[in-house]
Amino acid sequence: MAGASTASIPCVTLNTAHAIPVLGFGTGSSSTPSDLSSIIVDAVRLGYRHIDTAALYGTEGAVGAAVADAVRAGAVASRGDLFVTSKLWINDAHPDRVVPALKESLFRLGLDYLDLFLVHWPVSATTDEGKRTLVAFDMEGVWRGMEECQRLGLARSIGVSNFSSAKMSRLLSIAAVPPAVNQVELNVGWRQEKVREVCAENGVVVTAFSPLGAFGAAWGSNAVMESGVLQDVAARRGKTVAQVALRWLHEQGVCFVARSFNRERLKQNMELFDWELSEDDKAMIMQIPQRRACHGEFFVSPDGPYKSEEELWDGDI
């Protein structure tokens, strides 16, 4: 029996001709519930079709189990009805490690292909006896590895994450297969206009991570969920703050991966596609102060290669 779906999430078409659902279920969290698989199956029953994971998150096993369970339970007809994204962690961001790392992700997921494989950060590291050293990111070599993943059919689409406009431009200049997606921090409090412009000009779909400001996370921000502007708009529209924040992203023409492990909030976060913000609402939202929440400090060291957050975020390598 097909699972009861309350609404359907629209898709956009990537430059590979594959469709990506605009709203995805995020699984990156500092406290992953032990029943994540069953939460994901419930989300699929609600109508979620896109699941975002990463080698870093430790959730690939639960995502893979959920995909198998969702098919077994008839929540979807087959694995092909779901869109699974995973990401290459910085330890594996070396030309000869890309294909093996994807194979390891696929093994943990129990899948034979990913819908989307992303370079998680424009950062590489080596680890020796537990000590991590940041080393130069070989953008061209890593991207050749990503292209090989697509050529082998292990990933239907490939892309990047946390790439600034300068890094996107450089990648586009060297890519034989252009990236399909750039997943970046993006919400009403960090609009990312520059990188969105480069992506739009080049047919790269932008996906927003932390669309609610990573509310509650150690590095997260309350600029979205406690925004007075969003509270006013929400009251006027008869919606919640989260719905206004997500609807704004949808009207910006980007995709987004939101995280909730709560069924009611998951349901609420899907109820976005049959109403609109007014011009006044959008003008008010444009007044929200801008500040990046995501810390780049993990990827910066006095020894380089990125010696400052500016170099990480704004340099072309």
Residues that bind ligand NDP (CB under 6 A): 26-29, 52, 120, 161-162, 183, 209-217, 240, 242, 257-262, 265, 268-269
Residue 298 contact among ligand NDP, ligand DGU, none, beta carbon within 5 to 8 Å by kind:
ligand DGU
Can you tell me the distance from the alpha carbon of 178 to that of 215, in angstroms, rounded to the nearest whole number? 33
Find out whether 258 and 212 touch, Cβ atoms under 8 Å. yes
Binding residue (CB under 6 A) for ligand DGU from 54, 116, 241, 257:
54
The angle that helices 263-270 and 36-46 make with each other, rounded to 10 degrees, is 30
Residue 211 contact among ligand NDP, ligand DGU, none, beta carbon within 5 to 8 Å by kind:
ligand NDP
Residue 267 contact among ligand NDP, ligand DGU, none, beta carbon within 5 to 8 Å by kind:
none
Instruction: Supply the DSSP symbol for 15.
Output: T
Phi, psi (rounded to 5 degrees) for 265: -70, -30
Min separation Cβ 129 and ligand NDP, Å: 27
Min separation Cβ 89 and ligand DGU, Å: 8
Min separation Cβ 108 and ligand DGU, Å: 16
Residue 286 makes CB contacts below 8 A (sequence gap 6+) with: none
Can you tell me the distance from the alpha carbon of 141 to that of 124, in angstroms, rounded to the nearest whole number? 12
* 122 binds ligand DGU per the rule CB under 6 A: no
* 298 binds ligand DGU per the rule CB under 6 A: yes
- For the CA atoms of 34, 43, 54, 77, what is the dihedral angle to 10 degrees? 110
* 273 binds ligand DGU per the rule CB under 6 A: no
Min separation Cβ 316 and ligand DGU, Å: 20
Give the residue numbers annotated as catalytic, written as ranges: 57
Chain positions contacting ligand DGU, by CB under 6 A: 28, 54, 298
